[in-house]
Amino acid sequence: MRPLVFACEGGHLAAAKELLEKGARVDEDAIKAAEKDSPSMVRLLKSYRKDKASL
């Protein structure tokens, strides 16, 4: 499991933000993990997603 997905599944917003700032890539696995229970995580991922139209 990639660190960003792990952070999203656990609801670790600060860790996810740090990973994104260091260049972690937002992919479908991370989005699915965030959508389970964290609207704020989804917003964070959207702000870092290169293809924002697909979210």
Residue 30 class from Cβ within 10 Å (0-12 exposed, 13-18 middle, 19+ buried)? Answer: buried
* pLDDT tens for each residue of 40-54: 999 999 999 875 554
**Tokens 């991370």 — which residue?**
30
**37 half-sphere exposure, CB direction, 13 A CA radius:** 5
- CA 38, 44, 49, 54: dihedral to nearest 10 degrees? 40
* pLDDT tens for each residue of 11-21: 999 999 999 99
